[in-house]
Structure 1
């Protein structure tokens, strides 16, 4: 599994970059916004998802681990492949994706090229409770990509969850549960831990909502 790449950009095309890592050039598909921010010769760190099919192996790259985690979440939705998930992230920020899902608003997804009305609605329904819109005036999400021990890992995970709109107290409880439940959490990588935390928070939120309605 190729989780990230660090090295100089040696070629750029529309939505793609070739990154030289120890003499090996990796072709990485990016959002157009990400690709436009790069320049040949820049040394970059991209967080990657390797998508393997019968006749193809493709690397998709992201500027930070929150985008990567949302890319992985989008691909769990029926009808959303890697290119469609990348298209959503190219047209919307993680915060606007979370906001649309929290508001049960599929219009922003329908505006994305390649996403039809049915798929747009499926995204909203399938990801409900897994992302929370940031509160007004919330600080920008932390883009830390390297975590150290348990305390640093919890801090980074709380920052990522808070950036997606979860209250700090709730984020801290979930982060602590995830990290303390895995002695190897510090080496697992933030995208993996973020998915685990979201799997805890989603059902918990739905249970709380059901209790409120009772």
Structure 2
């Protein structure tokens, strides 16, 4: 329902922010990483997910669309609610979650509050093959993805392109300018 919010930060706490959007203050639950980037009085854009319950409306915000997608997948697992999903993302991040699921590493979930061995197994079982680590795991920095997004491409398209470049030209790993040039050649004029 509400997939994106952009506004001025009015309040920052370790796990929430209040964004003023056109004069309306939205309280958004965020990961500590997203909260750390928020500064009172500055603009902030968040990918969001609205959870509607019988007695509650809760808005959850994320730095990246991939984090929101991981949150949505986590909440689709029986026994994982929004707060537990946020705890997983706060502890592991979406890349750490993808790595844990891909490798079947139940122990990676041990530091996450609310996740026991049975639920960890269930998460791995149900999310296996559904999570993809971002291009940053393969060597492209988040700045590279941000640069392409800043030039007008969608985040998912930017990550896919950087991943493709690194698969085809592994020698560009660590060469930011070469990687960006190669990605722009692939993307051409498509936005």
TM-score, length basis structure 2: 0.74
- Give the direction of change, closer, same or farther, for the CA distance of 1:12–1:68 in structure 2 (3 Å limit): same
Deviations along 1:27-67, one digit per CA (max 9) or x if unpaired, are: 00011222122111121001100000000000000011111
Alignment of 1:160-179 (within 5 A): 160-161=159-160
**Contact 2:134/2:159 (<8 A) preserved:** no
- Give the distance between the partners of 1:80 and 1:119, measured in 2 at CA: 8
The reply to whether residue 13 of structure 1 matches residue 35 of structure 2 is: no
Give the aligned partner of residue 119 of structure 1.
Answer: 119
- Give the distance between the partners of 2:126 and 2:13, measured in 1 at CA: 33
- Give the distance between the partners of 2:127 and 2:81, measured in 1 at CA: 15
Deviations along 1:51-87, one digit per CA (max 9) or x if unpaired, are: 0000000000001111111111111111111111111
SS at match of 2:69: helix
**Contact 1:95/1:164 (<8 A) preserved:** no
Stretches of structure 1 that go unaligned for 5 or more consecutive residues are 170-185, 187-214
- Give the direction of change, closer, same or farther, for the CA distance of 1:101–1:34 in structure 2 (3 Å limit): same
**Contact 1:46/1:63 (<8 A) preserved:** yes
- Give the distance between the partners of 1:99 and 1:158, measured in 2 at CA: 21
SS at match of 1:86: helix
Give the aligned partner of residue 179 of structure 1.
Answer: none
**Contact 2:9/2:43 (<8 A) preserved:** yes
Alignment of 1:49-128 (within 5 A): 49-128=49-128
Stretches of structure 2 that go unaligned for 5 or more consecutive residues are 169-190
The reply to whether residue 157 of structure 1 matches residue 156 of structure 2 is: yes
CA RMSD of aligned residues (A): 2.8
Deviations along 1:129-149, one digit per CA (max 9) or x if unpaired, are: 11245697432353566897x
**Contact 2:46/2:61 (<8 A) preserved:** yes
- Give the direction of change, closer, same or farther, for the CA distance of 1:78–1:67 in structure 2 (3 Å limit): same
- Give the distance between the partners of 1:71 and 1:99, measured in 2 at CA: 15
- Give the direction of change, closer, same or farther, for the CA distance of 1:20–1:145 in structure 2 (3 Å limit): farther
Q: Could you say which structure has the greater relative contact order, defined with CA pairs below 8 angstroms and 6 or more residues apart?
A: 1
- Give the direction of change, closer, same or farther, for the CA distance of 1:134–1:8 in structure 2 (3 Å limit): closer
